Structure 1
Amino acid sequence: LVEAMNNDKNMVIMVKAHTDNRGSAQYNMNLSNKRAKATVQYVISKGIAKERISGQGYGESEPKVDCKENCTEEQHAQNRRSEFIIVKKN
């Protein structure tokens, strides 16, 4: 991500962090917000301007695999993810 952003100085990214559905909805929202914030801080620490990256946690609200209470470990792992959305590109 940092390399891509260094190659395109106009690229702006939004980080979407997600959790699986284990734990309370509030816990998962807080966890995903912390993950998004940590990702943003890491990218900024690598020299990317803070105006070029933002982040938001979505908790368990947008599962990649909607398996409800019957998720396998693999499905839980797929739902725990960060996505990088290109908001602006050269």
Structure 2
Amino acid sequence: MEILLAATSPGVQFFGKIGGIGLLALLHGAIYLILGIIASFWLPKISQLKGVLDMLQGIDWSFALMTMLIVIVSIFLYMVLTASLPLWSTT
């Protein structure tokens, strides 16, 4: 492991971490999207969850869009921060 870290430049490590975390975030989003589509077919059939569906009907698209934008920006900031932390450390 140390040989691998010593053989690559900090820039390669930085962009590798950002790329890896970004792909993991996309995979996570795809899983949520697939599960949301599946749940949208099953939720109306469950009588106990009709109240939840009624609450979700009141969400405005602009609110949902702003929420997703904040999530994307915060994930990007997290990726940059965690990828750059080893660059700041001194040994």
* Fold match (TM-score > 0.5): no
If asked which structure has higher relative contact order (CA below 8 Å, sep 6+), I would say: 2
Q: Which is strand-richer, 1 or 2?
A: 1
TM-score (norm 1): 0.37
Q: Which is helix-richer, 1 or 2?
A: 2
Q: Give the greater-gyration-radius structure (CA).
A: 2
